[in-house]
Amino acid sequence: MTTTIAVAGKGGTGKTTLAGLLIRRLAEAQAGPILAIDADPASNLNTVLDLPLEKTVGDVREETSEKARANLLEAGIAKRDLLDYEINSSVVEGVDVDLLAMGRPEGPGCYCAANNMLRAIIDAIADSYPWVVIDNEAGLEHLSRRTTRDVDVLFIVSDATVRGITTAGRIAALLGELETKVGRHYLIVNRAGGGLTPELERAIAEHGLELLVVLPDDPLVTEYAEEAIRRAGLTPKRSSIRGGTDGARLTFMGVPTPNLFDGSMNFHGKKEWVPLEWMDKAVETVLHLLGVWVDRSR
């Protein structure tokens, strides 16, 4: 019997960190082998779990279709067998947890035979584990396209804002329309400094969400970071950010780690850019940050 747990929610709310913490808790409880599925194309769950990542399911799909196009598939080896072998070899083995990263998704509208085979192979692998934990990219519309697994428990993560709760509500409302069946779903409010405000409680009730737990924000590191930003002559502004890879990894190891600005704009877009003056300020901030930690540790 496999129990499948998935984590979803708005970008930057702590999904990967929570998936990592959940896996760590299951491992500590010696609950049995865990398969971690990284369903975010940005593939960063491996950094939280401290596992190397060489090949994703997306890579295997591309390599195999290239071979097929070039007629390089060896005679006598069925495509399904080759995919099966390649996907099984791409599972990274850890001590209590193994990892399978989905990588880039197939193109829009592509439900070709290879993808159906891939889903069946992934499901067969997952069936041999008592626990499967899936870390998703922001939003939920991708869930059904990545595996056919039904999810027993879905944790919807939100920050402590009405917008975050509204997104969580939308995700919960979408559940009925997914091909993937979701058993129970719970809301986790992460980084709620002073607990829930009446406004947030109202929003949770309005969306009919079942609140599992409110996790506090760890204030110390952000306080120090803000002090450093002020010392650089700037006014700190807080917001969530996507892809907190290094931060998520360090947080998992027990050191809550916020991301600092580096001055760049339009991340990952064609027109990503950074002015020199802002980069200078980022460097200045980091140097001040060292000073703040030294001063406050005396």
Which parts of this chain interact with ligand ATP (CB under 6 A)?
A: 11-17, 40, 138, 190-191, 215, 217-218, 242-244, 247-248, 251, 256-259
The one of Mg ion, ligand ATP, none whose footprint includes residue 242, by CB under 5 to 8 A per kind, is: ligand ATP
Q: How far is the CB of 102 from Mg ion (least distance, A)?
A: 13
**DSSP category for residue 265:** B
Q: Which two tokens stand for residue 134?
A: 């899936």
Q: How far is the CB of 134 from ligand ATP (least distance, A)?
A: 12
Q: How far is the CB of 177 from Mg ion (least distance, A)?
A: 23
Task: Give the whole-angstrom CA distance, residue 50 versus residue 39.
Answer: 17
Task: Give the whole-angstrom CA distance, residue 168 versus residue 178.
Answer: 15
Instruction: Tell me the residue type at 101.
Output: A
Q: Strands 131-135 and 97-101: what pairing?
A: unpaired
Task: Give the whole-angstrom CA distance, residue 237 versus residue 261.
Answer: 10
Task: Give the whole-angstrom CA distance, residue 255 versus residue 179.
Answer: 38
The one of Mg ion, ligand ATP, none whose footprint includes residue 91, by CB under 5 to 8 A per kind, is: none
Taking the least distance from each CB to ligand ATP, the nearer of 51 and 87 is 51
10 binds Mg ion per the rule CB under 5 A: no
- Site residues (CB under 5 A) for Mg ion, limited to 13-42: 15-16
- Site residues (CB under 5 A) for Mg ion, limited to 261-290: none
DSSP SS3 for 216: coil
158 binds Mg ion per the rule CB under 5 A: no
The one of Mg ion, ligand ATP, none whose footprint includes residue 217, by CB under 5 to 8 A per kind, is: ligand ATP
Q: How far is the CB of 120 from Mg ion (least distance, A)?
A: 26
Taking the least distance from each CB to Mg ion, the nearer of 16 and 158 is 16
What phi and psi values does residue 37 have, to the nearest 5 degrees?
A: -110, 120
Q: How far is the CB of 129 from Mg ion (least distance, A)?
A: 21
Task: Give the whole-angstrom CA distance, residue 292 versus residue 272.
Answer: 31
The one of Mg ion, ligand ATP, none whose footprint includes residue 174, by CB under 5 to 8 A per kind, is: none
Taking the least distance from each CB to ligand ATP, the nearer of 44 and 64 is 44
Q: Is 249 left (phi over 0), alpha (psi -120 to 50) or beta?
A: alpha
Q: How far is the CB of 39 from Mg ion (least distance, A)?
A: 10
The count of residues interacting with Mg ion (CB under 5 A) is 2
Task: Give the whole-angstrom CA distance, residue 130 versus residue 35.
Answer: 8
Q: Contacts by 65-68 with C-beta closer than 8 Å and gap 24+?
A: 65/114
Q: List contacts with Mg ion (CB under 5 A).
A: 15-16
